[in-house]
Structure 1
Amino acid sequence: MHYKLQVTLRLFLLVALLPTLFPAFAGETARRELTIKGTVVSTEKEPLPGVSIVEKGTNKGTTTDVNGEFTINLSTPGSTLIFSFIGYATREVVVDAAGTLDIVLESDARGLDEVVVVGYSAKKARYLSSSVSTINNEKLRDVTSNELPNLLQGKAPGVVVSTNSGDPTSPARVVIRGSGTISASSSPLYVVDGNIDGTYNPVDVENVTVLKDVAATGLYGSRAANGVIIVNTKMGKAGKTEINFNNTLGWAQATTGNFRLMNAQELYDFQSTFNPRDPSVLKNNTNWWNEAFRTAFVNNHNVSISGGSDKTTFYVSGNYYKEQGTVIQNDKTGYNFRTNLRSQLTNRLTAAVLFNAQYTRDNYQNSNTLYDAYTNLPFDPAYENGVPTDGRSYPNWLGRDRENFLQSIQYNYANARSLRTSLDVNLDYDLTDKITLSSYNRANFGNASGATYYDRRTKQGGANGGELYNNNNNNYRLLTSNRIRYSEDFGKHSLTLLGVAEAETSFAEYNTTSGKGLPAGQDVLSVATDILVSPTGYNEQVAFRKFLGQADYNYDNRYFLVGSLVNEFSSLFGKNNSTANFFQLGASWVLTNENFLKNNKVLSFAKLRMSHGTVGNAAIPNFASLGLYTISQSASYAGVPGAQPFQKGNPNLTWEKIRASNLGVDISLWSRIDLAVDIYNKKSEDLLYQKPLTATTGYSYVWVNAGSVRNRGIEFSLTSTNLTGKQLTWETNFNMALNRNKILELSGGAATFRPGNRLPLAAGHDMGEFNLPVWAGVNPENGDPQWEKLVTDANGNVTRELTSSYSSVQTAQSRQFTGKSTNPKFTGGLTNTLTYKGFTFSAFLNFVYGNWVYNESRAYFDNDGLYESYNQMILADGWSRWQKPGDVATHPKPIVGGNKDSNQSSTRYLEDGSFIRLRNVRLGYNIPVNVMRRIGFSRANIFVSADNLWTGTKFSGPDPEASFSFEDTPGNSSIKYPISRKVLIGVNFTL
């Protein structure tokens, strides 16, 4: 017992003396008890709740409470604390001893020190020589949509987004700095997480950068002619693991604008003036519009988990999105899963693995639902004894098409399913402290299938005893981009050299099958009794290869020069022109880094930018340069299918080339007002054109390079911090862009391409300028329609005459360029954001001015008696119909069978498409952190949001918005699916 006591006392004395005998050990003991307390505030001395605080090199971290206060225990003196918070510049602080820290985080809202991804590199915004616009996640997510283009609308100058339809399965179109192509695509190139193409979901997007001038877009070579949209998805951050739940629920209704159709009494009264009906028709008063449209529901639910250490970070997200269309039987459902992992494997090697999978299910609207909603007569019943009527068999059905869409949608459908996956493996290796080798690799895989079924019990399927169409599409794309970067500082000089070698291969296969004679309700081809159309199919492969060299020079953060050269090969083009070279130059001068402007209290930042260069457009169908034949039964010989010429080959076909210049200035005043102005000139040459050929050539068309188009414009964006009080802040963001388009020349000296079209292409004119017979109103004496007729006398003098003969104005001479274009004169957006304590209120307006829209639908329901078996629209304000001699009216006298072709194509249906729209209003509230922590949450936010609350326009249809892209029919509104007004409620919270 005595021995055990001695051993115990000796051990106790040894432990007690260790701090004296071994100071290093004493330090280790002390380090375990190093406690740091403090507060984090903004430069306005406002406490910042929710700031992430992480001990560098460890998983240890915490966040500030509602008062901006924190407590953290550190492992060792000399540890570094990292303070990070959204909207503020990250700060690192070395801590040597226990105590209290007062940390001030500077706002990053001005964005000058924000790192912007441009091309294959990243730079602080203040040092860019390019014209770019960056939109962060918070500004993207005010409007509710599962499509990024819809979220970009009105957010960046020069980026014109047109939503041609309220159908959730219909994509919006994006045009950047005007359309400069005829037959090729005008869509921008998308780059996701550093590589071309890729898949993503808007909920996972951290920010979007739009590259507009060639100094930025040119690095992407032949596919950057229409601008580049760089999408950066969210990555995990070192520190405490966060679990975020974001939920939005809401409903939507179709907007009707200035448009309304007649009810039964109104139509009866109108038609009684020229086509008396029996009063018995008034026993029905069917509102077909209300039958076709519904209150639709929107669901958007997302959960994400992110975190990591200073070596490895992760972000994992899952999303479910369901949006019903306001037209019955129309909806879109999407599922998305993303995993982003990044790890510093060694001191020199960093790897990232990014995976995204998207599954989408689309149910398309019945092909006749919208058409019938506009044209069916209110005299015809929708139901009889609770069952949808069949217009084909219902006695005394008065509507022209004898169809009730409510009967057909019981059996017919059209849908599509798609699965897209994207896998990235990216490696960065620091060969030395100045040289980095990178390899970015991506594999995209896609599968899509669709089916359209018309049951034999419906009008659409009745003629063939039922019809079924199936299609299937498989595709994949492999890309490798290998890069070497050298960076060196020589005193005040900085130089970065970049070399890129990139190769890409795409494969696709597509097939369609169809059948007829299917038993009722049997929607599989195995029961078809015959084929409807011969099966079709193709498989194809396309390759791109690119070499890029760039030099980026900086002197004393005052003068910046950047130059690059791109050589690219594509199998799309003819064998004589399969490669092309492009160059880009850029320069900028930061004036406020000069001694004469340093520390200027008014002009806190000023920079001049300029760029010039070339870029290409390769957005054409595969094999456009090759001579193609079709093999079909129509060319059969002796019962054997034969081949016939289809597309004429052109071995000289080459890229469209865009030569562009940009001059810009960025100014910040009192560190509160930011202004960016850009002036550009963009000339597109060697335009890709699908030239029709006469039948005598044996071919349908040939792809050629034809002519040139110029776009000139000015853009500006303004951000103003109006109030920065302790409790109230107010920020305004305003942007506007003006663009003018002109065709400079057409190949072969031609004056016009596509003569006779509403939108021909003519040298000296806007690409979107309408060419039509000119409507001259109504003859006040007899109510007949009138047009302008151009007459040339023997001396070549041209005079205008009025005529009521439409056939006399269909000639090439009397069709006139109107000076009215589908292209707007200017576009823009205005956002105001106010915060008060925990509340945030924002209102976003977007506007389009000076474009014209051809309201083609009016030929059906505003036709002066031609279609008495169609419903009619209520005349817009200021319109009137001729009734007696002397009337000065906008509409001719109605006559059964129509009044002298008054509804034929002319400027009569050309309307001003200008509008201003209250795109979104949102009110949110951040629940106090101390309240949420009591129930185990870090933070929470609730909000109410409304989209498309109001639209100001003169347009007579339900919605003035029309496509500006030549991939659609620009400036055309026909049987319009109107956009919807949405009201949404959301709850977001973080564990």
Structure 2
Amino acid sequence: MRNQYKFLIRLSLFAALSLANGLESAVAFSPDNNVKKRAGQADYTVTGKVVSSENEALPGVSIVEKGTNKGTTTDIDGAFTINLTSPGTTLIFSFIGYATKEVAVDGATNLDIVLESDAKGLDEVVVVGYSAKKARYLSSSVSTISSQKLRDVTSNELPNLLQGKAPGVVVSTNSGDPTSPARVVIRGSGTISANSSPLYVVDGNIDGSYNPVDVESVTVLKDVAATGLYGSRAANGVIIVNTKMGKAGKTEINFNNTFGWAKATTGNFRLMDSQELFDFHSTFNPRNESVLRTNTNWWNEAFRTAFVNNHNVSISGGSDKTTFYVSGNYYKEQGTVVENDKTGFNFRTNLKSQLTNKLAAAILFNAQYTRDNYQNSNTLYDAYTNLPYDPAYDNGVPTDGRSYPNWLGRDRENFLHSIQYNFANARSLRTSLDVNLDYDLTDKITLSSYNRANFGNGSGATYYDRRTKQGGANGGELYNNNNNNYRLLTSNRIRYSEEFGKHSLTLLGVAEAETSFNEFNTTSGKGLPAGQDVLSVATDILVSPTSYNEQVAFRKFLGQADYNYDNRYFLVGSLVNEFSSLFGKNNSTANFFQLGASWVLSNEEFLKNNKVLTFAKLRLSHGTVGNAAIPNFASLGLYTISQSASYAGVPGAQPFQKGNPDLTWEKIRASNLGFDISLWNRVDLAVDIYNKKSEDLLYQRPLTATTGYSYVWVNAGSVRNRGVEFSLTSNNITGKQLTWETNFNMAFNRNKILELSGGAATFRPGNRLPLAAGHDMGEFNMPVWAGVNPENGDPQWEKLVTDANGNVTKELTNAYSTVQTAQSRQFTGKSTNPDFTGGLTNTLGYKGFTLSAFFNFVSGNWVYNESRVYFDNDGLYESYNQMVLPSQYSRWEKPGDIATHPKPIVGGNKDSNQSSTRYLEDGSYIRLRNVRLGYNIPVNTIKRIGFARANIFVSADNLWTGTKFTGPDPEASFSFEDTPGASSIKYPISRKLLFGVNFTL
């Protein structure tokens, strides 16, 4: 392996030197064609005009003389003039949204060129697995999102930009914190303890770093015919990220700038002010009217109007042999909670060169630096629970709740005092270097070597000053952590392509090797002088230092055959053999297979030239893929060394994790049936029906203390996901001045646990979300709330009673202790998983104006609003603030009242706020995710100041949300990496108003 990476470094140096030589001509290129003539050559002038198929002039079309770096662009009328080296040369015409066209000059002095639109996407080349194909010839289920459709919402995280853009791709977040990542689940979760996130592939290689501003397109692979090629880490789908590359022609300099403001949304939620809380308390625990002298809005103290900045500059261009793209980005988003923000810097350079007639090389480099400041000091918690009776300031100075006289709040804490001294932050730097080589051994055989080195390091610090409540007990606390990691990957490929008559065949062989290394350590101390946030001044250790390092290896062999007959019938099949050091020594390798077929009906004689059904394709796929997303060393028996196991002052070891040498991959067997049709060349519809079964689920099974171990990793049971998804694109109006396009997608998924290991009926019994055979993975199991007794205002629950004959009946009870037992906990039929999800975008264009509106929606999921335990508890926490009851709720006051809320009593009303379906709420919502109005300034106007293109826009995110949910925001995670379907002290999402200006030189 060491020799292999030495070879990789040598290749990098060789390619870098070659590209540097090639770039000398690319950088020197200018639109005025100030290129020295070669000896004996005379200029040959050609003029002409470029129009669309609708006969509209196309300004800004790139025109390059093939084999040289001579080039120009069309003016506002689509006209061009170019000096050529000879009358027998060829011109290349390229323009975004249109198919590239090569035209032989053949002595002509005037050319009229028509470019055909490729906006419909059927002829768009899509990267799938280790190859690229036109979309019309794919046999698998994929969704492709272009950069234009990604950049409406403002975010520095790709998952946020994908939300609602592709069917079956469900993006969710538990927090509006800009430092908190969103989660992506594709076609339902099919794993218990393993990671459910998709695999990311950047520019042809697994993993890699990137910035959303540099993304050219995103392709989501959903069925096994496409995902299976990536082996054991593709079980949860694959997201392929293609970054921008330079194009031959005029060097372009692009400036993109966005700035604006964000404010936290509150939805249907509002906390009481002093008068409202006083009136509520008066019904069961009267207060002295003196408390009304203070009316602190703690929510407003915790939240702010935040500023958002996003600035990018890129330079791209090149010749037909060498192209380059260089980009720098600065992103700063303040959180709406005070002292919380995210700052990112990104630099990318993509260089590609045709070094010889046979050898092509690319060097791709990306560096990403991130600085996060986390919301700390219980700011969010206090914003929800602090009483409005308590003052935030005393003579302009933040009060200290611990020492302020007559502080009434339960926790005696003012976060405004703490945030003056406390902080929590993290810093990280990720770099990624790719060296890719393609060598045409013959006109039919291509050898490729794609190599990547990822390096990352990060550090974090959390500091609690001794002057604050958090740091007071230990005289100040400081926690530091550091992480270093790298990943080396080499992917070597051989491709054979043959065409014979109407037949074509492509054979692909891939051998990949990957190793990753990670080291992590933490240190902490206490007894620090005020304001001193370095461990060197600590007087004692707070927690014993921890450290670990680990190394993991993967190896994969892949073989694929792709057959096409007459562009009508397509067959593809592949076999994957993979090794991973993650698994037990008895099962460290696994084999997977994938099959796909498609039939392009519109290429048959009976449908050719049909003016209504202009395209039709039927697709079918079946195969297997694996999941290896588990912690390192999960298969090994582990011991922990600690002071608690010490003997005679010497640290000792004790069992921690039981080993399992038979541990192996989760295996997913999936089938997909789909069809794609196009009507009148303006309406495109894609529909997919799938069945995905996960077997040998990776599960961290707890063990009893008598075993001497905490848990063991096992393969346990199976889960099924079935669903239907579709996407519809309609070009409603395609006029010369007015255009209107609609994009609509929707997905339905049903999840079911088929079996658990050992015939067990339930895993995690007593959990709010247990796992039980025959039930949805996200189905809630808890006591069932039966409302309020109208006679006395008591809470009521359903109690299950079993008679001597085994018959089960339901009774009402006000004793919570009798319903929290296993006998009375019930599966509710309500799940964290939605019935359906989707998105709707309408885009209108008129002359230079573009107006778009994007909605995303989720329906049928249930969210446990755990926050209400604190501020909707019927008097239990009278020292916490309370929520204003929404219109659909009512509180019991007198006998006969039919109410949703029990009678409030000091100390609570018979455990009414304990876990039950009382706090289980419908999490369905529809959100106006983005509205954007842009204007392309006329070229003849900006040309005078040297600009080629300019655009200004105003954009708004999260303008409106329609929901019945009573919290600030209904959005909850669907991923089992978090706690799915839970909303607790929610950091709400932000409503943003943004302005931008983009221009090109």
- What is the TM-score normalised by the length of structure 2? 0.96
**Equivalent residue for 1:723, pick from 724, 728, 733:** 733
**Equivalent residue for 2:580, pick from 570, 588, 600:** 570
In 2, the alpha carbon distance for the partners of 1:547 and 1:302 equals: 40
Aligned to 1:582: 592
Aligned to 1:14: none
CA deviation vs aligned residue, 1:544-571 (integer Å, no higher than 9, x gap):
0000000000000000000000000000
Aligned to 2:175: 165
Aligned to 1:772: 782
Specify the code of the residue in structure 2 equivalent to 1:438. S
Aligned to 2:26: none
In 2, the alpha carbon distance for the partners of 1:98 and 1:605 equals: 37
Specify the code of the residue in structure 1 equivalent to 2:677. I
Structure 2 SS opposite 1:346: coil
Q: Does 1:920 align with 2:899?
A: no
The answer to whether the 8 A contact 1:846-1:917 is kept is yes
Deviation at residue 33 of structure 1 after TM alignment = 4.4
In 2, the alpha carbon distance for the partners of 1:255 and 1:40 equals: 49
Aligned to 2:636: 626
Aligned to 2:220: 210
Q: Does 1:274 align with 2:317?
A: no
Deviation at residue 50 of structure 1 after TM alignment = 1.2
Aligned to 2:873: 863
Deviation at residue 70 of structure 1 after TM alignment = 1.6
Specify the code of the residue in structure 2 equivalent to 1:564. S
The answer to whether the 8 A contact 2:440-2:446 is kept is yes
CA deviation vs aligned residue, 1:715-768 (integer Å, no higher than 9, x gap):
100000000111000000000000000000000000000000100000000000
In 2, the alpha carbon distance for the partners of 1:98 and 1:502 equals: 50
Deviation at residue 29 of structure 1 after TM alignment = 11
CA deviation vs aligned residue, 1:283-324 (integer Å, no higher than 9, x gap):
100000000000000000000000011111000000000000
For residues 396-545 of structure 1, the aligned pairs below 5 Å read 396-545=406-555
After the TM superposition, list the runs of 4 or more consecutive aligned residues in structure 1 that deviate by more than 6 angstroms: 27-31
Percent sequence identity over aligned pairs = 90
In 2, the alpha carbon distance for the partners of 1:305 and 1:722 equals: 36
Deviation at residue 99 of structure 1 after TM alignment = 2.7
The answer to whether the 8 A contact 2:201-2:238 is kept is yes
Structure 2 SS opposite 1:111: coil
In 1, the alpha carbon distance for the partners of 2:112 and 2:872 equals: 71
In 1, the alpha carbon distance for the partners of 2:168 and 2:317 equals: 37
For residues 216-615 of structure 1, the aligned pairs below 5 Å read 216-615=226-625
Deviation at residue 475 of structure 1 after TM alignment = 0.3
Specify the code of the residue in structure 2 equivalent to 1:549. G
The answer to whether the 8 A contact 1:113-1:125 is kept is yes
Aligned to 1:196: 206
CA deviation vs aligned residue, 1:474-533 (integer Å, no higher than 9, x gap):
000000000000000011000000000000000000000000000000000011010000
In 2, the alpha carbon distance for the partners of 1:873 and 1:47 equals: 60
The answer to whether the 8 A contact 1:35-1:98 is kept is no
Structure 2 SS opposite 1:361: strand
Alignment: residue pair count: 965
Aligned to 2:158: 148
**Equivalent residue for 1:812, pick from 814, 822, 825:** 822
Deviation at residue 878 of structure 1 after TM alignment = 1.4
The answer to whether the 8 A contact 2:602-2:608 is kept is yes
Q: Residues 843 and 804 from structure 1, CA distance in 2 versus in 1: closer, same or farther, beyond 3 angstroms? A: same
The answer to whether the 8 A contact 1:912-1:954 is kept is yes
Q: Does 1:61 align with 2:71?
A: yes
In 2, the alpha carbon distance for the partners of 1:734 and 1:72 equals: 43
The answer to whether the 8 A contact 1:31-1:77 is kept is no
In 2, the alpha carbon distance for the partners of 1:33 and 1:215 equals: 52
Q: Does 1:39 align with 2:63?
A: no
In 2, the alpha carbon distance for the partners of 1:683 and 1:552 equals: 26
Structure 2 SS opposite 1:90: strand
Aligned to 1:889: 899
In 2, the alpha carbon distance for the partners of 1:930 and 1:442 equals: 45
Aligned to 1:936: 946
Deviation at residue 274 of structure 1 after TM alignment = 0.3
In 1, the alpha carbon distance for the partners of 2:558 and 2:457 equals: 32
The answer to whether the 8 A contact 1:294-1:328 is kept is yes
The answer to whether the 8 A contact 1:193-1:232 is kept is yes
CA deviation vs aligned residue, 1:919-951 (integer Å, no higher than 9, x gap):
000000001111111101111100000000000
The answer to whether the 8 A contact 1:248-1:301 is kept is yes
The answer to whether the 8 A contact 1:350-1:429 is kept is yes
In 2, the alpha carbon distance for the partners of 1:668 and 1:67 equals: 32
The answer to whether the 8 A contact 2:377-2:415 is kept is no
Q: Does 1:902 align with 2:930?
A: no
In 2, the alpha carbon distance for the partners of 1:729 and 1:364 equals: 44
CA deviation vs aligned residue, 1:690-735 (integer Å, no higher than 9, x gap):
0000000000000000000000000100000000111000000000
In 1, the alpha carbon distance for the partners of 2:405 and 2:951 equals: 58
The answer to whether the 8 A contact 1:31-1:74 is kept is no
Deviation at residue 105 of structure 1 after TM alignment = 1.1
Aligned to 1:693: 703
Deviation at residue 32 of structure 1 after TM alignment = 3.2
Deviation at residue 100 of structure 1 after TM alignment = 2.3
CA deviation vs aligned residue, 1:177-209 (integer Å, no higher than 9, x gap):
000000000000000000000000000000000
Specify the code of the residue in structure 2 equivalent to 1:646. F
**Equivalent residue for 1:705, pick from 711, 715, 728:** 715
The answer to whether the 8 A contact 1:923-1:943 is kept is yes
Q: Residues 742 and 63 from structure 1, CA distance in 2 versus in 1: closer, same or farther, beyond 3 angstroms? A: same
Structure 2 SS opposite 1:89: strand
In 1, the alpha carbon distance for the partners of 2:56 and 2:902 equals: 68
For residues 794-833 of structure 1, the aligned pairs below 5 Å read 794-833=804-843
Specify the code of the residue in structure 2 equivalent to 1:177. R
The answer to whether the 8 A contact 2:387-2:879 is kept is yes
Q: 914-923 or 73-82: which moved more?
A: 73-82
Specify the code of the residue in structure 2 equivalent to 1:197. D
**Equivalent residue for 1:113, pick from 115, 123, 133:** 123
5+ residue gaps, structure 2, are 1-36
Specify the code of the residue in structure 2 equivalent to 1:651. P
Q: Give the superposed CA RMSD.
A: 1.0
In 1, the alpha carbon distance for the partners of 2:184 and 2:377 equals: 26
The answer to whether the 8 A contact 1:850-1:914 is kept is yes
The answer to whether the 8 A contact 1:28-1:76 is kept is no
Specify the code of the residue in structure 1 equivalent to 2:936. N
Deviation at residue 367 of structure 1 after TM alignment = 4.2
Q: Which has the larger radius of gyration?
A: 1
Q: Residues 565 and 389 from structure 1, CA distance in 2 versus in 1: closer, same or farther, beyond 3 angstroms? A: same
**Equivalent residue for 1:977, pick from 948, 969, 987:** 987
Specify the code of the residue in structure 1 equivalent to 2:484. N
Deviation at residue 61 of structure 1 after TM alignment = 1.2
CA deviation vs aligned residue, 1:84-120 (integer Å, no higher than 9, x gap):
1111111111112343222111111110000000000
In 1, the alpha carbon distance for the partners of 2:416 and 2:77 equals: 60
In 2, the alpha carbon distance for the partners of 1:562 and 1:206 equals: 27
The answer to whether the 8 A contact 2:377-2:418 is kept is no
5+ residue gaps, structure 1, are 1-26
